[in-house]
Structure 1
Amino acid sequence: MTDTAADTPERRNWRQILLVYGTPVMISMLVLGFASGLPLYMVFQKLSFWLRDAGIERSTIGFFYWVTLSYTLKFLWAPVVDRIRIPFLHALLGPRRSWIVTAIAGTVIALLIISQTDPASGLLPVAIGALLLAYSGATLDVAIDAWRIESAPNDMQANMAAAYSLGYRFAYMTSGLGLAISEWADWGWSFKAMALAMAISAGLVFLMKEPAAGRVKRGLEGPFAVKVARAVIEPFRQILGRLGVWFIPVIALVAIYRLSDFTMGVMAAPLYSDIGFARDLVGGVQGGPGLIATISGLFLGGVAAFRFGLPRALVIGLVITFVTNGGFAWLAATAGPDDGWRLTLAIVADNLAGGFVTTVFIAYLSSLVDPENAATQYALLSSFYAFFAKFLSGFSGVLADAVGWVWFFILTAGWTLPAAILLFVVIRYGSEAAKGRERFAERETAP
């Protein structure tokens, strides 16, 4: 299928771009981004703080990090979210919202379980609550990603990603409020307050619109073997068939497009410590100008993709990633403990680029996904890039020790170069599907 004249970037004026963010679907996406982010921040950050506060050993706390593997392995049960109908809720809300509400209910139950436990008295109840929270949160991600992909056409996916990521940032700030509540009252009330926030999010889901894309095709009929083939095998066969010989270049691009951010980000905090920056200075910059820069980057990524087209936005993302990652090499080479302005410049630039790249990259992944198998295919792509990047990021400290801070950040910036070559090949010679321009008729009718 070909693009219509109305779909070309030249026809999109700035008024149209700004009006997009006031539509009901974008407001819904903001709420869902919040609901998606809060469980991860609670299990990834606040849970470890609580355990250490209770006197649990660091080694034991480290093992609790393994529950976040659910976010990497979520593609294993994504076919269930795509195909299985939840009794009663499916008829009331539809396939996507029913799974969203069910997963949120799991996070609420998990947070309430955790609120009633005491790590000093035994870790088994805490582990059960943490596992339920992590796996419910990962399942929620799968369902929300599918809702996002099916609720808007390709040329609005970057805007959807921006709203989603902004909701994630609100979840981050809310989890910080949960930390404050634990100081004012206790940890139990903190987890209960977060459970209430998730319950409110579930209530708002009832006011959202269920996407129609792919709904009929997701129904499963026939013998058990046929159902398994349609639920598990068909999504992978479908994406292979659509991309053809371009599957390998596209997967390679997905794997390394954000590698610079991942490898650099792990070592940013140790760099601040080695330079001698005060913790309150770093925290103030990250929570003030840095947060504003991230939100601005998310918005600008959506604007750039909608105005200029996704391929050009992906190119811009690599350019600013290269520059801002290299900025940390400049920081390492020139900054001292009192150079707050250098620290601010480096963090603001990096956060602006990170927000921009987050939006356009999510939009690209979304453009590769068919609404018939949205949950399964997106979970596969996102899990693949996250696993590869996180695995290589584990060697960041070894690399920094071997070459020093300046060369470390030069090398991490250099990861954008092979990504740029792959992106050029895909944009110049790739199929329409590889470029993210495949038009799925069901999604193009979304409001």
Structure 2
Amino acid sequence: MALISPASEEVTKSVAVPKKTSKALGTSRSELPVLETFLQMNPEEKFDLEAVNSIDTRALLEQARGDKHVLREVIRTAEALLPRVRAETEDPILVSGILRDKTLDWYRRSSTDRTWTDTVPLRWGGMFHESRVPGGRLSRKLSVRLIGLINQAVEASGAVAFLRAGFSGIFRGSAMMAKMVQFSLGSKRPRLTQQVAQAYLDDLAASPRNGDRPLPLSRLSDFARRNGSSEVSMTLAELFTAEGTSLLTVLDPRFHPELSSLSIRILSARNQEEGATYDLVQGGAHASGSSAAGEGAAMDAGSSFPWEREGMTSKDWVVLLRDLGKRKTKLDPPPRDNPRGRESYLVLRELLLEESAARKAFLTVAWKGRPSGPVLLSQLLSKGQWVPEVDTDCDYLEAELDHIEEALADPKHEEGHWALGHGWTVVREVAKGERTYRAAAKSGD
């Protein structure tokens, strides 16, 4: 009889055994504090996410079996902790704070702690999302483990004990949890927040700091290859502070005088199939902004990141397009979710309207596929006449033209004619049921 579905595989079924026989099953006295420690936890002053994540739920349930009163306390404690766990591991602001704390812990302890790679992966694994080592250890998501613990404890306590505890504890906890679920579903957090956070945390846990050498974030890079480096980079931008287009500051030396800085560096892929890679570097963010050369280096690596950056200027786009062209690397497309609502998108489009050299550079590195408006617009302006390969391209182009003209608020709009500013006009021609477009610039661009 379970309030939360489905039960996790993290807690296995077994016959209820009185505490007196626990020693016969291999439960030693050294394991007893697991139950005591868990029951002392609460979602307020005694809350420690890492400590909750470190609880062995199998051992905990085994120690509680046979005592229905203890099982009810386990249920109450788990249900009280669950909303706080979900909030801490789903809200980007809270996730960011936790990741910064763990990064500082990695910086201070990992290089001198000989047990780091043996103990920390177990303490941090599954905190935000499932952790998996290919062919090896699997740590399920913490909230899933807590749900499994609740369900198994309810089943072990029996129906009568469950009903006695229900109105005072279980139902209230479930109501709190339902409220938190609604908060999570209704929030505007990035879709990949938990997966990205866990991949980053797993990288820190797996590799101690080696002096000032960069730390390759292999798990995060692998995740980006599978799910899209653009989405991953934008999720990271929600969690950390952007410095240029290729660096995100994790730890700022203004608040941590003992270190220069710790930043995630985004390295663009050599081709579209590979995806971006990431590493953790020391002193990178502030060094990159100290000179023009540093600015170029920062722009050099961020083919997927500029869409999320605030304050992206025309000059920034010129540098980025030039550097991508030198490396023969494609620019990642902007997110399909309202791309025209992004300042960086609008700045790029203005640049394409203004400068023929920018259009040429853009078409060399432009992405394939949607959103195709900027690409089609550049082709039209560059050639002066444009014939679509497929009819749907006409709709995409006209949507882009309409958006430009609406921004100019021109009251003299005529169907099939667009005034785009910068001296540009576009005319649609229809012959034999097929649409073609002509563009002309008064300035002679």
Q: Pick the TM interval, shorter chain.
A: under 0.3
Structure 2-normalised TM-score? 0.22
Higher helix share: 1
Structure 1-normalised TM-score? 0.22
Give the structure with higher Rg (CA).
2
